[in-house]
């Protein structure tokens, strides 16, 4: 479900835009129809939202991510330059957990609509990603109803690609079912979905204490953990150190697209896990 922030609800905003467009066409004649078909300029808080919008909307929008894929969006420090990018856009899309979001809602000009994509869970998990596809598809259809057939067709194709990849992953990791792992808490949902037995999780290095580390390592040794899985967007010192002490393989996965699409990121994560299991 998409949620709105600002002065108008999504429905009210769309209705007001429709009225404005109709009035403009009546006053200015048929030449203005081209303006209705121009691209919507979108800024997304993360590369994950950017990837979904691109897959569904194609060339009907321009979209760019605010936070680079290799950085942690939760620890991102928004700069005046990024604020200007948002203010120049038609639409800003966010997840809802970005700590810097109040800066956007308090400072962005009224010309930019701010919309939250309210999907619980880790978007790298295919089942959750499909929910995000449905939410973004519904939002974009409400904004550009004349593109409904196009958006539905592209969203369905994208969803089928995600589900097909999910089936491939299940077949890949089927023989490794219940493999014991310890991981960053940001990778726990994906690893559990893929069939791994997550015996322990850890947070960023600044949140760790010697006692927590000792317990984590003891758990790993006791259960003969094979993999310690870090999150690329977080520091990897906790995972690397734990893996050495346990005698396990250390691998690093991403929970955001970095240099490509969501499917690219998903496939790269699978290859990385396979290399750790070899």
Segment 238-277, tens digit of pLDDT: 899 999 999 999 999 999 999 889 999 999 999 999 999 9
Determine the pLDDT at residue 92: 96
Q: What is the pLDDT confidence band of residue 3, given thresholds at 50, 70 and 90? A: low
Class of domain 177-277: alpha beta
Give the dihedral sign, CA 118/123/127/130.
positive
Determine the pLDDT at residue 13: 36
Segment 45-94, tens digit of pLDDT: 999 999 999 999 999 999 999 999 999 888 888 888 999 999 999 999 99
Is the pLDDT at 30 greater than 60, yes or no?
no
Determine the pLDDT at residue 107: 74
Determine the pLDDT at residue 114: 92
Distance (Å) of CA 250 to CA 176, 219, 221: 17, 16, 14
Q: What is the pLDDT confidence band of residue 166, given thresholds at 50, 70 and 90? A: very high
Q: Where are the domains of the chain?
A: 2-169, 177-277
Rounded to whole angstroms, how far apart are CA atoms 119 and 97? Answer: 11
Determine the pLDDT at residue 160: 98
Query: Which two three-digit tokens encode residue 146?
Result: 């004349």
Determine the pLDDT at residue 26: 31
Q: What is the pLDDT confidence band of residue 108, given thresholds at 50, 70 and 90? A: low
Q: What is the pLDDT confidence band of residue 235, given thresholds at 50, 70 and 90? A: confident
Rounded to whole angstroms, how far apart are CA atoms 105 and 98? Answer: 12
User: What is the percent of the chain with per-residue pLDDT over 90, rounded to a whole number?
Assistant: 68
Class of domain 2-169: alpha beta
Query: Contact 252/232 with Cβ under 8 angstroms?
Result: yes
Is the pLDDT at 8 greater than 70, yes or no?
no
According to DSSP, the β-strands at 113-117 and 2-5 are antiparallel
21: CB partners within 8 A, 6+ apart: 36
| Intrachain domains 2-169 and 177-277 with the same fold | yes
Is the pLDDT at 14 greater than 90, yes or no?
no
């Amino acid at each position: 479900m998409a949620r709105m922030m600002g002065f108008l609800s999504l429905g009210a905003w769309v209705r007001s835009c429709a009225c404005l467009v109709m009035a403009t066409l009546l006053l200015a004649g048929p030449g203005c129809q081209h303006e209705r078909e121009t691209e919507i300029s979108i800024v997304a808080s993360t590369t994950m939202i950017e990837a979904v919008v691109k897959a569904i909307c194609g060339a009907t929008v321009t979209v760019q991510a605010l936070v680079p894929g290799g950085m942690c969006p939760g620890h991102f420090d928004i700069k005046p330059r990024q604020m200007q990018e948002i203010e120049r856009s038609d639409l800003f899309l966010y997840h809802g957990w970005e700590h810097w979001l109040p800066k956007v809602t308090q400072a962005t000009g009224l010309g930019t609509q701010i919309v939250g994509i309210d999907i619980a869970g880790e978007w790298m998990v295919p089942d959750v990603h499909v929910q995000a596809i449905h939410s973004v598809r519904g939002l974009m259809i409400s904004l550009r109803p004349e593109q409904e057939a196009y958006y539905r067709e592209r969203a369905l194709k994208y969803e089928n690609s995600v589900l097909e990849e999910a089936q491939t992953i299940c077949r890949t990791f089927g023989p490794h079912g219940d493999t014991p792992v310890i991981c960053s808490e940001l990778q726990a949902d994906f690893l559990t979905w893929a069939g791994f037995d997550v015996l322990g999780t850890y947070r960023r290095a600044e949140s760790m204490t010697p006692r927590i580390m000792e317990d984590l390592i003891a758990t790993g040794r006791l259960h003969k953990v094979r993999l310690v899985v870090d999150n690329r967007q977080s520091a990897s010192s906790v995972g690397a150190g734990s893996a050495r002490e346990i005698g396990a393989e250390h691998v690093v996965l991403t929970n955001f697209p970095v240099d490509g699409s969501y499917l690219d990121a998903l496939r790269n994560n699978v290859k990385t896990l396979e290399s750790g299991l070899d």
